Amino acid sequence: MDMTDRLAARLTHRLRHLRGTQESFTIDLGDAFVQAASYEGDAVLIEFTGDEFLPEDRRLSGVQHDELLRLGFNRPGDVSPNWWIGIEDGNERSLYAAARAAVTALTEFHGVPADAWDEELPLYRWTSEVPQTAEPRTMPASGEGESLTMETTLGSVALFANGHATFNGETWDDRPVREWYPTKDGRLAVTLAVPRGEHFLHVGFVPETDANAALLRSYVPSRDELTSLAQRLAVHEQYALTCIESGTMVHYVLASAASRLSDAEGARKASEIVGWDLAPRLAAAEAAVDAFWRRKTADNNREQQHDEEKTWQAIQAWVRISPWKDDFDFEVIPTPPRPWAIASPEVEIQRIYR
């Protein structure tokens, strides 16, 4: 995502807050400015500096005027002495399109730098927490305990439970095991890293025993386990994404489906999974679902509100290591506790529309 998209998202957030207030704001950026006003319900008017307010040497050319029209601006005239866009219904996608047009005009035509916007358009972050991502595994200097030895298509491999591996007696790759799965003839097929200088598939076989499977699992989950983990991750992240999209956390079907996958027999904790780079994402997404269920144990309204804020905090922490980390962030505005009522936190979502 480029800086124009990021700044447009922040400006859209300001415009969303402006709707229905009958108020206005102006962002001064040197000789140029952008301003917006609320009028007639949710309607919003956004304006960009007209030439009459600019020094002669900063006024735009005819080609740039044509570009402003292409971006969706209307010419200065009776409505406004500035270039303007009116969003009659306050539609969020239209707000984003107008915000992006204003940011494009200011950055491309007037050279306004990105940091000039920071004070006026902060990116609200309710929590500063960023979950830890997977650290590259460093191979120990030597093996410990009994090794799993196999003759492969390229040589002899020894794997140790502490992560040390050798190929033909020499210390080898940090990630030697790439995939493994049981075969129909009672063996475990293991796909291994290709040693330097080799160009052929590197495969070995070992007997299918609990001990061999456990040792291979200390390098990477099995093929079937990776499929299950991918499904588990998809459902948990769908819960978090649905919460953000809707601004509500009560999605029992998704939360229940996610919990069933995590609680299934044989399902390992995400924190215990080795060799899968997406494990931290799963752990963060599971934390959000767990936080949602904890809210049901609250004894009173105040406790429930606290638990709901913690759920949003967990969702926001997850998004920071997700593929959507640059697409949106959000601000949680806690509502004051009200007696005899459930007061869920109000959520303000900052989204990027593509």
Predicted local confidence at residue 348, as pLDDT: 59
Which CATH code is given to the segment(s) 147-220? Answer: 2.30.29
- Two tokens at 297? 């144990």
pTM of the prediction? 0.65
How many CA atoms are closer than 13 Å to the CA of 349, on its beta-carbon side?
Answer: 21
Q: Which residue has the tokens 């922040």?
A: 10
Angle subtended by helix axes 3-18 and 92-104, to nearest 10:
130
Cβ atoms of 153 and 146 within 8 Å: the answer is no
List the 203-207 sheet strands across, edge first: 177-182, 187-192, 203-207
Average pLDDT over residues 315-328: 84
Determine the Cα–Cα distance for residues 221 and 169; give it in Å rounded to an integer: 25
Determine the Cα–Cα distance for residues 305 and 294; give it in Å rounded to an integer: 11
- H helix runs in 43-178, sequence order: 62-71, 92-104
Give how far the C-alpha of residue 233 lies from the chain's centroid of Cα atoms, to the nearest Å.
13
Cβ atoms of 149 and 157 within 8 Å: the answer is yes
> To the nearest 10°, the Cα dihedral for 271, 277, 280, 283?
-60
Cβ atoms of 242 and 254 within 8 Å: the answer is yes
Average pLDDT over residues 89-106: 88
The residue ranking higher by pLDDT, 243 or 222, is 222
240-286 pLDDT, tens digit each: 999 888 778 889 999 999 999 999 998 999 989 999 999 999 999 99
Instruction: Identify the band that residue 132 occupies on the pLDDT scale cut at 50, 70 and 90.
Output: low
273-298 pLDDT, tens digit each: 999 999 999 999 999 999 999 988 87
CA triplet 248, 232, 267: central angle to 5 degrees?
A: 125
Neighbours of 275 (CB within 10 A): 18
Mapping DSSP to helix (H, G, I), strand (E, B) and coil, where does residue 273 land?
Answer: coil
Determine the Cα–Cα distance for residues 98 and 4; give it in Å rounded to an integer: 12
Cβ atoms of 348 and 122 within 8 Å: the answer is no
Which CATH code is given to the segment(s) 3-121? Answer: 3.30.1460
Average pLDDT over residues 21-46: 91
264: phi then psi, degrees, rounded to nearest 5: -65, 155
Determine the Cα–Cα distance for residues 14 and 5; give it in Å rounded to an integer: 15
* Domain residue ranges in the chain: 3-121, 147-220, 224-321
What percentage of the chain carries pLDDT values higher than 90? 50
Q: Which residues pair with 53 in a beta bridge?
A: none
How many residues does the structure list for the chain? 354
Instruction: Identify the band that residue 101 occupies on the pLDDT scale cut at 50, 70 and 90.
Output: very high
- Two tokens at 177? 């095991």
Cβ atoms of 249 and 314 within 8 Å: the answer is no
Average pLDDT over residues 301-328: 83
Predicted local confidence at residue 90, as pLDDT: 83
Mapping DSSP to helix (H, G, I), strand (E, B) and coil, where does residue 115 land?
Answer: helix
Determine the Cα–Cα distance for residues 37 and 47; give it in Å rounded to an integer: 9
Average confidence score pLDDT of the chain: 86
